[in-house]
Amino acid sequence: MPIYAYKGLDRAGKEIKNTINMENIVAAKQRIKSMGVMLIDIREQKAQGTSGGATLLRVGGSVPVDDLAMMTRQLSTLIKAKIQIVEALSALTDQVENPNLRLILSDLRQKVNEGASLAKALQDHPKVFNSIYSNMVEAGEASGTLEIVLLRLADFTESQVKLKNKIKGAMTYPVIMAAFGFVMMNVIFIFVIPKIAKIFISMKKELPLITKICIAISNFLVSYWWLVIIGIVVSLYSILKYIETPHGQSRWHSLQLKLPVLGVLVKMINVSRFCSTLGTLMNSGVPILTALNIVKNLIPNVHMKDAVEKARQSVSEGASLAQPLIQSGHFPPLVTHMIKLGEKSGELEPMLKIISENYEDQVQSKISGLTSVLEPIMMICLGVAIGFIVFAVVIPMMNMNSLR
């Protein structure tokens, strides 16, 4: 059912902007008129295809993952209640508040009503429904278990959101502390130290080395602050550009895996994502080769991605899934051992679920521990920097008092 955006005036002369979901523009105009609104402008909102075949929305913006998970769970409930997909999509179109999601649901309903499968309609919106979503829906439609698959999708999406929010929450405090410390140190060196330095220089006495260093840093920042800003911007830009190259990305991802604390966390996050996604896809009826190809594209670390690609090639040749993962050295022995047992017993999906649940708990515990470690480290670094400035100022003052 098309969605129309309209603008008009109510009985009090106040301007109104809203959307309405009706069969056609004539019905939309009649409905708006019956609400006592004097219509000024009305236009249909549609999904437009791009040159690459993907679809974008006129109103722009992405759909929040929370809204997508809620919509998926509601669609599963409606289908479980034996409601036809077209009617279920129509009901959700009237219910959701997000304008982008409302437009997408309207487009999905129209395409399904014209005879397309739900999975095929979803593929026209790759920025909202990724390959995992569309492939799982396709498997659910083929097996007649669409409501179960959608429920798993909602659970899977929510778990990924929780993990992402956990990581963001853990990094918020250290980032704020680092930014505050950087700003405070610059304020001290640019505005405070120059005034104190004038007093020390007027003494015409030999200053301690730490004070000379402090004054030299202050003079440089006062005279060449623009050069510092340019240097930081150029350095960050160069590093980011280098990381985007295949060689730079390989070295950066290799460094991530070798870092003392963060390396273990990166590896655990990638293993958890691999096991949970692969288990969810296979449990939903997606063939293992297709599932491995999807999982490979979801793992950010290129070295672990290469290991998954080798595992996919091994499975396509009728060999073991676990062996290439063992040879890569990036997957913990416990994980590869359980995958090997799952292959032998024919219970690979339950094994992957057990591994993913275990590693999700470990990741959350590790993130909490990382937060508790980073906080004192940031405080110590900030204290050392402030102590350096304090000693640079206090020592000459003590010498001045001793001379008096």
Q: What is the pLDDT of residue 390?
A: 86
pLDDT digit string, tens, across residues 92-127:
888 888 888 888 888 888 888 888 889 899 988 888
Rg (CA), the chain: 30
pLDDT tens digits, 157-206: 888 788 778 778 777 888 888 888 888 888 888 888 888 888 887 777 78
**pLDDT for residue 235 is more than 80:** yes
Beta carbons of 97 and 39 less than 8 angstroms apart: no
Please tell me the predicted confidence (pLDDT) of residue 236: 93
Instruction: Give the pLDDT of residue 401.
Output: 63
The pLDDT assigned to 394 comes to: 84
Percent over 90 (pLDDT), the chain: 11
pLDDT of residue 403: 52
Per-residue pLDDT, 46 = 59
pLDDT of residue 231: 93
Q: What would the pLDDT profile of 61-93 be if each residue is shown by its tens digit?
A: 478 888 888 899 899 899 888 888 888 988 888
Nearest to 283 by CA among 150, 149, 155: 149
What's the whole-model pTM score?
0.66
- How much is the pLDDT for 239? 93
Average pLDDT of span 238-258: 91
pLDDT > 80? residue 25: no
- The answer to whether 398 and 197 are in contact (CB under 8 A) is no
